[in-house]
């Protein structure tokens, strides 16, 4: 089945530094990738939709200058949390879709636990 690799699985950084999270589709070309944030015991909150070769579309309330998304190829999207603060600590999950059609399921990475100290 389709595999999405997300790296790193966990990261601890100091306040004010930037952290990059990678999301790769290993055996299919992902026309679209999605980035989510998940708070403890809550559902996924869509942050942005990333299309290869174009600017990401951010959900309302998500700061595009703080959460930089780059989708440089059909198999790689990156999320950079810039100038991280403790309130950015969360579980970040990416997903990818091989097709633009609604019936195509999302394939998820295993998530990245970010802790900002």
Rounded CA-CA distance 56/90 in Å is 21
Q: Binding to another protein by residue 100, rule CB under 8 A?
A: yes
Q: What is the nearest approach in angstroms of another protein to the Cβ of residue 32?
A: 5
Tell me whether residue 44 or residue 68 sits nearer to another protein (CB atom). 44
Token pair in block for residue 107 = 């394939």
Tell me whether residue 32 or residue 116 sits nearer to another protein (CB atom). 32
- The residues facing 13 across adjacent strands are 116
Judge whether 51 and 39 are in contact, CB under 8 Å: no
Q: Binding to another protein by residue 109, rule CB under 8 A?
A: yes
Residue 52 DSSP code: T
Q: Binding to another protein by residue 71, rule CB under 8 A?
A: no
Judge whether 73 and 52 are in contact, CB under 8 Å: yes
Residues that bind another protein (CB under 8 A): 4, 6, 9, 32, 34, 41-44, 49, 91, 93-95, 97, 100-103, 105-111, 113
């Amino acid at each position: 089945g389709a595999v999405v690799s997300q790296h790193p699985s966990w990261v601890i950084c100091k306040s004010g530094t930037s952290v990059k999270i990678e999301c790769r589709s290993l055996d299919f070309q992902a026309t679209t990738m999605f980035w989510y944030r998940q708070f403890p015991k809550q559902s996924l909150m869509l942050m942005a939709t990333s299309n290869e070769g174009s600017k990401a579309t951010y959900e309302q309330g998500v700061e595009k200058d703080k959460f930089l998304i780059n989708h440089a190829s059909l198999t790689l999207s990156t999320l950079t949390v810039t100038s991280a603060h403790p309130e950015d600590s969360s579980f970040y999950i990416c997903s990818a879709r091989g097709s633009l059609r609604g019936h195509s399921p999302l394939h998820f990475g295993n998530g990245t636990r970010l802790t900002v100290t």
